[in-house]
Structure 1
């Protein structure tokens, strides 16, 4: 393999061709504009793609011994689906090249012999396409997720969801990892957005959700209603249909009455289980009482899920309660007693984790000097302020 040139630019490209002389020529001409890596075979290229940072563009010769270009691209796409693939072809390969473009395997093909200016133009077009692809993914995974987190913080601020969505996400991820199920982008978004429907419940429904046994028909009906409302709201947001589908699945009877086998059902069940765990925890129910309720609600759990629930519901040492100055409040602290306005209006309910906006508001509230918070039996350095 010819090593990449020391180039400060981040447009990483990979050239694959069994013609060593051609690779050297391409490298000399392209290294002024791109960060170039070259490989002389398909197998070498696949290993390079697997063990390197992502290449924006991969340009592959059609005709190579051992593994032809189209096969290299097909296998490379499995490793690096966001890379953009170009193909160098001869006249005899035009039909194959055009089919590859039409099938979406190849972004563009170049017919040999071709001018260096044409190669540079194709690579630049491929880099722009790569930027579009990665920008879309960035929007979905980070920007969009960040916006959703802000939305849920607002929901949690104005109406107590009776659960901790951070705990739900953490627990669901752990369960899915323990049973070797895939954890994809839907898990964090569903864990957060599942509470979107709570503010639209009436007072009687909220009372049932807060206090009724999770095994009662009344409670099951309200939980299903929450997910149904959340699903309907989310369906109005483009690209979030998979989240809506998961919420509908979580409201179905099958998710609680059978052992799930496919990944989608496992994701739905893990989030629903975590939802109930968090709800019981907020009620102060732990140990055998909580375990019995969950086992009654989910009579046929996967063994890994069952072990996780058993461990999570074990009675934990009770935290101590301390009244601390509002200036010492930190994001993530648990409120131990209701915080009320001077006129008696409830501001933050007991059992809520403090979000950044909550901390800011409490610090700025005139007349409020201290807040009672839970201090875990084993205080973390962050909570201790060190």
Structure 2
């Protein structure tokens, strides 16, 4: 091996841990932790580790419970149970609940343990490769969907940018975890709206009262959008979160209360429907529109949000205003005017940060003569000649 395998040993017997470290330190890069709590701290501060070897019979938190926590928070660390307890229940718990790679009884020969650790490391490398491929696939799927939203539904895409900015600020202020699932849900929630007839989607955004039939249609669209996302690897959590922001989700959850992330997202989505994303964002006026339905929201989060969101997005990272042709549009430009083709169709909405895909699409439209208007954008650097 060109590099030593990083292994964390966890046991309540400090003398045993020191003995293991002395015996195996020539072959492995070893860290030790006395008990489960110290083990979690070590994983968090000194990780990542390829392999974790834990004893079962530890005070306060037993090995099976500890490994289950490790599986949740450090899934790529391969887990081995090392114990003198050979009862079947312990083995089943370690393998099923914690997905332990091996269940090894004490005493175990050093050579045997070392061989198992090497096998676990090989499994870790395989998991890491699969995870990397999956991450790239998921990231590409999300980018495709957001690019499609930005081009096909620019007005709705502007609302996702508002919700994303608001969510980040609110989570920081309210001590709600700003998870990857929440961030992704902020970007993709209008997918349900794209399944609605255009007139109904527009009516919903004006906060006009919906008929009973229209509410059923909206509910069905939300369920369908969640099911569509749930079919994409790693987006099942995003799909559940989006569903829980809707009345349909609450009904399907069998009286389980939505988490704080879902309760926050529900308010922010509805709030985005009460503002004109192309103009000044009047937060207090928007909240005044939602007050009539206050019973539908988490009252604590609702009342805390207005001062938090009041100044979100007012600072601009871009510095200079430029007037360009559509052919000069660049990735990262912030549109200050709507971009329309020569038939008057809206292509990109003002307030949108241009993606690479959008810039390339607009460039092709400009080259074909479909867009002749000039536009204004904000950007940090001097533009190329357009």
Change (3 A) 1:102 1:348: closer
Shift of 1:344: 4.8
**Equivalent in the alignment of 1:126:** 120
5+ residue gaps, structure 2: 251-255
Whether contact under 8 Å (2:155, 2:277) holds in the other structure is: no
Rg comparison, structure with higher value: 1
Task: Summarize the alignment of residues 255-334 of structure 1 with structure 2, pairs less than 5 Å apart.
Answer: 262=257, 264-279=258-273, 280-282=275-277, 284=279, 286-287=281-282, 288-298=284-294, 301-312=298-309, 323-326=323-326, 327=328, 329-334=330-335
Residues 1:15 and 2:6 are matched in the alignment:
no
Task: Summarize the alignment of residues 89-104 of structure 1 with structure 2, pairs less than 5 Å apart.
Answer: 89-90=83-84, 93-95=85-87, 98-99=91-92, 101-104=94-97
Q: What is the aligned length?
A: 356
Q: Which stretch shows the higher mean deviation, 344-353 or 311-320? A: 311-320
Q: What is the CA deviation profile of residues 279-330 of structure 1, one whole-angstrom value per residue up to 9, with x for unaligned ones?
A: 4141536334333223334466534443423553579989998633443644
Change (3 A) 1:373 1:269: farther
5+ residue gaps, structure 1: 1-6, 256-260, 376-382
Q: Secondary structure at the match of 2:3?
A: coil
The CA distance in 1 between the partners of 2:233 and 2:337, in whole Å, is 39
Shift of 1:169: 2.2
Residues 1:51 and 2:48 are matched in the alignment:
no
Q: TM-score, normalised by structure 1?
A: 0.72
Task: Summarize the alignment of residues 24-35 of structure 1 with structure 2, pairs less than 5 Å apart.
Answer: 24-28=22-26, 30-31=27-28, 35=29
Q: Secondary structure at the match of 1:324?
A: strand
Indicate which of 195, 206, 209 corresponds to 1:216. 209
Whether contact under 8 Å (1:69, 1:87) holds in the other structure is: no
Shift of 1:385: 1.8
Q: Secondary structure at the match of 1:227?
A: helix
Whether contact under 8 Å (1:323, 1:372) holds in the other structure is: yes
Change (3 A) 1:338 1:136: same
Change (3 A) 1:169 1:37: same
The CA distance in 1 between the partners of 2:294 and 2:280, in whole Å, is 17
Change (3 A) 1:101 1:249: closer
Whether contact under 8 Å (2:150, 2:348) holds in the other structure is: no
Q: TM-score, normalised by structure 2?
A: 0.72
Change (3 A) 1:318 1:337: farther
Residues 1:74 and 2:65 are matched in the alignment:
yes
Shift of 1:360: 2.2
Task: Summarize the alignment of residues 1-386 of structure 1 with structure 2, pairs less than 5 Å apart.
Answer: 9=3, 11-16=5-10, 18-19=15-16, 20-28=18-26, 30-31=27-28, 35-38=29-32, 45=39, 47-60=41-54, 67=58, 71-72=62-63, 74-75=65-66, 77-78=68-69, 81-82=74-75, 83-90=77-84, 93-95=85-87, 98-99=91-92, 101-105=94-98, 106-112=100-106, 114-131=108-125, 143-164=137-158, 165-209=160-204, 213-214=206-207, 216-217=209-210, 221=215, 224=219, 226-237=221-232, 240-252=235-247, 262=257, 264-279=258-273, 280-282=275-277, 284=279, 286-287=281-282, 288-298=284-294, 301-312=298-309, 323-326=323-326, 327=328, 329-341=330-342, 344-364=344-364, 365-366=366-367, 371-373=374-376, 375=378, 383-385=379-381
Change (3 A) 1:359 1:243: same
